[in-house]
Amino acid sequence: MQQTSEQNPTFVDRRSNSDGSQPGNERRQFSSSHQTLRPEVIELAEAVDQYKLRHRRRFITFEELYDVMAELGYHR
């Protein structure tokens, strides 16, 4: 198999900052839909996002989601 040192001209580096976003910002799970949600859903979404930032997590477990909900005052 022959290797070349040239880059593929159709290669798109998705890690680059070409989309205009600030460096270091992550795409948040709910960020694009906050305007269309009920206030209590927005509060939960923002609390989940803050939890994920605080704990450096991209995804959370159901147990962690329950902990976030409990922090907001949910109880069964």
Asked if residue 65 is part of any domain, the answer here is yes
What residue type is assigned to position 67 of the chain?
A: D
Q: What is the pLDDT of residue 10?
A: 77
* Domain region containing 66: 39-72
CA distances from 5 to 9, 13, 48, 59 (A): 12, 17, 44, 37
Asked if residue 24 is part of any domain, the answer here is no
- What is the pLDDT confidence band of residue 76, given thresholds at 50, 70 and 90? confident
What DSSP state is assigned to residue 9?
Answer: T
Asked if residue 23 is part of any domain, the answer here is no
Asked if residue 18 is part of any domain, the answer here is no
Asked if residue 14 is part of any domain, the answer here is no
Asked if residue 13 is part of any domain, the answer here is no
Indicate the number of domains in the chain.
1
Q: What is the pLDDT of residues 8-57, one digit of tens each?
A: 567 666 665 555 555 555 555 555 555 667 899 889 999 999 999 999 99
Asked if residue 47 is part of any domain, the answer here is yes
For residues 65 and 37, which has the higher predicted lDDT (pLDDT)? 65
